[in-house]
């Protein structure tokens, strides 16, 4: 995990925004390998992480009067001697166990520890996570609309 902290409003430390970005620098699908044509763009599976790092850079350069803590989960999903395999059970930071059914469904696994970390180890009031999780959103919404899920009705204010 990469952790970045920016405190531009030191008079208001009780209001801190948390950002989490998913950053797969390359996703082959692991042992549930993708078809070759599908792998060509998988170097772009780090859009959430790039957005969070870019936001933190802009916030700092503009010296915005806000407080933000950002966590980026950066990894690759490749076949290797250390890669997890279908049927394995792995542990999470939260102490939960997860059975791996499809190694190409790594998006949620990538986010789970980063979200757990920021909620339990950083003093943030709200968390926004950004991730390229599923091609189903692209099929459903097209290339000009972003899928958003929230449990905060005020988010859309």
What are the distances in angstroms from CA 37 to CA 33, 73, 88, 93, 110? Answer: 11, 25, 27, 34, 23
Q: Do the Cβ atoms of 60 and 76 come closer than 8 Å? A: no
* Residue in the block written with tokens 């395999």: 85
So which residues are the catalytic ones? 34, 108
Eight-state DSSP code of residue 61: H
């Amino acid at each position: 995990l990469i952790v970045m902290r920016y405190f531009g409003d030191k008079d208001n430390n009780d209001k801190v925004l948390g950002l989490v970005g998913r950053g797969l620098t390359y996703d082959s699908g692991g042992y549930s390998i993708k078809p070759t044509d599908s792998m060509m763009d998988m170097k772009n599976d780090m859009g959430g992480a790039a957005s969070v790092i870019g936001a933190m850079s802009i916030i700092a350069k503009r010296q915005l009067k806000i407080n933000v803590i950002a966590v980026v989960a950066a990894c690759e999903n490749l076949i290797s001697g250390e890669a997890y395999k279908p049927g394995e059970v792995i542990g999470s930071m939260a102490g939960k166990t997860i059975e791996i059914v499809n190694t190409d469904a790594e998006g949620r696994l990538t986010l789970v520890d980063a979200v757990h970390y920021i909620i339990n180890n950083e003093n943030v009031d709200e968390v926004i996570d950004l991730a390229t999780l599923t091609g189903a959103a692209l099929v459903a919404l097209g290339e000009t609309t972003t899928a958003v899920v929230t449990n905060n009705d005020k988010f859309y204010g």
